[in-house]
Amino acid sequence: MATGSTARSLHLIAAPFEKCGTFELVRDLSNVAKNVANIHLWHSKDDPVVPFDELTKYRAAIPSAEAHVFEDRLHFNGERFDELETAIRTG
């Protein structure tokens, strides 16, 4: 667990890094890795809403995060997301 961690895990699913609609990320993410033990980034290469390049920006900002890349999940609007469920259960 990261030093000073307060959260067990954080899962960012198809999250925009730049401003997208009403969503705007705080630019300084340096405290994220300090406060979260396990960080997961989930993105699909064919996402029509959030460009795949946004994942690269998160990976640079949070190098300790584990990236999960998919080819054909669009914006993860399906009824099931078994990989996410497994990641949450296993911590």
Domain carrying residue 35? 7-90
Contacts of residues 23-31 at CB distance under 8 Å and 24 or more positions apart, as own/partner, are 29/61, 29/62
Mind listing the pLDDT tens digit for each residue in 53-66? Answer: 999 999 999 999 99
Domain-located, residue 77: yes
Task: DSSP letter for 78, please.
Answer: S
Least confident of 11-15, 21-25, 63-67, 71-75: 21-25
CATH number, domain with residue 78 = 3.40.50.1820
Domain-located, residue 56: yes
Number of compact structural domains in the chain: 1
Domain-located, residue 1: no
Domain-located, residue 2: no
Q: Are 47 and 77 a contacting pair, CB within 8 Å?
A: no
pTM: 0.86
